[in-house]
Chains A and B, each alone.
Chain A
Amino acid sequence: MSQPALVLENVVVAFGALKAVDDVSISVKGGERRAIIGPNGAGKTTLFNAITGVNPPTSGRIIFEGATVTTKPAHLRARMGMSRTFQITNLFPRLTVAENMQLALRGTGPGKFSLFGSARLSAEEEERVMSALAISRLGERNSVEVHELSYGEQRQLEMAMALVTRPKLLLLDEPAAGLSPSERIIVSDIIRALPRDLTMVLIEHDMDLVLRLVDYVTCLNNGQLLAEGTPESISANQRVQDVYLGKARDHA
């Protein structure tokens, strides 16, 4: 694990004059579990979009598994082994769970241009779908259309679809957003049960959830890198506390 899985060098994402991500450099080791935290508007999701190619950086470099991917389109990065979930649930609502999984599975493999072929999955593919659904604890819902699932189940399906591709790098954008406390526990259990050799980058607001799940934490504020360190050092970091809880005023 000498080579870092993901390196960002001086990444800037600007929308006109606004620098949503401002000169951020990060290095994530293979197999590491990294959290990116920060208040609303810190640039976390924008950074994710730069990493996955949805919105390529204005300047700087992104290196994934040793290859520069800065300007590569999203679908090619996905084929290289990047997989993501979305903060705002992004599924195929009018398709069934099985069809959603099939699209996720076939996206990085052959057979997606099969014009008159059979929709049937091979035994090996079915096995992969089963295990991804099992990890995400979403069994027995295959023939249900996704818009009929509960919100929590939709978040679980997000995870299952990201996992079924067997990614090298998994990017989770607030996997527990909008979930009830009990559903949050399910999500954190799912994350904890992920294979240990999978590199994972996680955006999350919930500090308690994050600090128990990851090896290393990056804190962003106003698009800039504020602090990096182990979960313990970050929770003890005065500047991070100031950003999250507000600064104590001298004259209060």
Chain B
Amino acid sequence: MASAYSPQRRIPIPALASILIIFGALPLFASSYQISVANEILIFALLAMSIDVLAGYAGRTSLGHGAIFGASTYIVIYWISVAGGSPWIALLLGVLAATMLASVFALLAVRVSGVYFLLLTLALGMIVWGVCLRWTSVTGGENGIRGVGRPEIIADPLVFFYTTLVTVLIFSFIIWRFVQSPFGLTLRGIRDSESRMSSLGYSTASHMFIAFTITGIFAGVAGALYALFNNFVSPSTVQLSQSVEGLLMAIVGGIGTLFGAFVGSAAIILLENFVSDFTPRWPMVLGFMFIGTMIFAPEGILGAASKFFRSGWKKNRIKP
């Protein structure tokens, strides 16, 4: 048995397996349109997880990750269709660019917390959006850039769907491992008390810098997948609403639950896609859903569910 001082978390096989089964079985009965919606859900779940690492574990709410995500999308599409380069190199460059952009954001934002962190990351994201909108010669301005399609071996939507599923699952595991590491524990320490952390000898700024930059890798992978998925990029990919959407997915799913990102991403993207069939006022429905979440389950859907099951289990145990 593991000692009490060495809380070794078990690998979250149930969570990863249910994601694999639910999404993996989807093509058996879903239409090609529904599969593409599921594909989008997976990509945005990865973006939401990258935000959740900061929001749920380090206690910093970022509104700049949409721009980091979109920067990767831009680079990938630019490299393939304008520069005519290899798509595989493009993916690498996209993630690299997102990571570098995140490290610049991090340098500027690590010393602040709370609402200042929120506003600073928001402003940095706006700068990226402004550059993409105005630098017409490179980004195509409002018209954006159209891609030239996916590489041959993942061109088929079903193959690409499974590629996304496997990539997102691998990164889910990496992110989970990351937040459970000794370094991840220091992030939770910073969330709970930054002053105590520095009095214990931690350079909280360098920890936040590393954490922010690493979440940039995750957001960059999501953005690169999105480039292959959407085959088109415009300033709306890097705009503020992208960051807000990612954050809302993390919140609806449950901040600090990591895998709640899948639930939140599914809830929001499904609403967007299916409610819009019935009413053009779907953002209103979305708004009501957020209000409902905040009132009835502020810990998010997955957070509330796990609390419910845990308390139910405890009650059962007390019974003689």
Whether B202 is near chain A, meaning CB under 8 Å from some CB there, is: yes
Q: Which of A61-89 contact B (CB under 8 A)?
A: 73-76, 78-79, 83-84, 86
Q: Which of A17-76 contact B (CB under 8 A)?
A: 52, 54, 73-76
Chain A residues whose C-beta falls within 8 Å of the C-beta of B198 in the assembled complex: 54, 73-75, 78
Mask: chain B, 1-31; 1 = CB below 8 Å from A; 0 = not: 0111111110000000000000000000000
Bound together, the chains give a CA A15 to CA B177 distance in angstroms of 45
Instruction: Among B186, B191, B201, find the residue whose CB has the most chain A CB atoms closer than 10 A.
Output: B201
Least Cβ–Cβ distance between B218 and chain A, in angstroms: 13
Q: Decide: B189 and A92 in contact? CB cutoff 8 A.
A: yes
Mask: chain B, 148-168; 1 = CB below 8 Å from A; 0 = not: 000000000000000000000
Chain B residues whose C-beta falls within 8 Å of the C-beta of A106 in the assembled complex: 182, 186
Q: Decide: A86 and B196 in contact? CB cutoff 8 A.
A: yes
Known contacts A119-B6, A119-B181: A75-B195 contact under CB 8 Å = no
Bound together, the chains give a CA A143 to CA B2 distance in angstroms of 12
Whether B171 is near chain A, meaning CB under 8 Å from some CB there, is: no
Chain A residues whose C-beta falls within 8 Å of the C-beta of B197 in the assembled complex: 75, 103, 107
**Beta-carbon nearest neighbor of A102 in chain B:** B185
Q: Decide: A98 and B7 in contact? CB cutoff 8 A.
A: yes
**Beta-carbon nearest neighbor of A123 in chain B:** B3
Say which size band chain B's interface belongs to: 20 to 34
Least Cβ–Cβ distance between A133 and chain B, in angstroms: 10
Q: Decide: A101 and B200 in contact? CB cutoff 8 A.
A: no
Bound together, the chains give a CA A112 to CA B5 distance in angstroms of 16
Whether A104 is near chain B, meaning CB under 8 Å from some CB there, is: yes
Least Cβ–Cβ distance between B266 and chain A, in angstroms: 27
**Beta-carbon nearest neighbor of A112 in chain B:** B186
Which residue of the partner chain, among B5, B199, B210, contacts A113 with CB atoms under 8 Å?
B210
Chain A residues whose C-beta falls within 8 Å of the C-beta of B202 in the assembled complex: 75, 103, 107, 112
Q: Decide: A121 and B200 in contact? CB cutoff 8 A.
A: no
Q: Decide: A107 and B8 in contact? CB cutoff 8 A.
A: no
Q: Decide: A107 and B201 in contact? CB cutoff 8 A.
A: yes
Known contacts A75-B204, A90-B193: A143-B188 contact under CB 8 Å = no
Q: Decide: A114 and B181 in contact? CB cutoff 8 A.
A: yes
Q: Decide: B188 and A115 in contact? CB cutoff 8 A.
A: no
Chain B residues whose C-beta falls within 8 Å of the C-beta of A104 in the assembled complex: 200
Q: Decide: B182 and A75 in contact? CB cutoff 8 A.
A: no
Mask: chain B, 203-239; 1 = CB below 8 Å from A; 0 = not: 1100100100010000000000000000000000000
Q: Decide: A95 and B200 in contact? CB cutoff 8 A.
A: no
Instruction: Among B5, B180, B197, B214, find the residue whose CB has the most chain A CB atoms closer than 10 A.
Output: B5
Whether A2 is near chain B, meaning CB under 8 Å from some CB there, is: no
Instruction: Among B9, B203, B210, B214, find the residue whose CB has the most chain A CB atoms closer than 10 A.
Output: B203
A contact residues vs B (CB 8 Å cutoff): 52, 54, 73-76, 78-79, 83-84, 86, 90-96, 98-99, 101-104, 106-108, 111-121, 126, 129-130, 142-143, 161, 165
Ordered by A's residue number, 18 sampled pairs between the chains whose C-beta atoms are within 8 Å are A54-B198, A73-B198, A75-B198, A91-B193, A94-B192, A103-B186, A108-B200, A112-B182, A112-B186, A114-B181, A115-B181, A115-B210, A117-B182, A117-B183, A119-B7, A119-B8, A142-B4, A165-B201
Q: What 10 pairs between A and B have smallest CB-CB spacing?
A: A107-B200, A78-B201, A107-B201, A92-B192, A142-B4, A120-B6, A108-B201, A74-B198, A114-B182, A75-B198
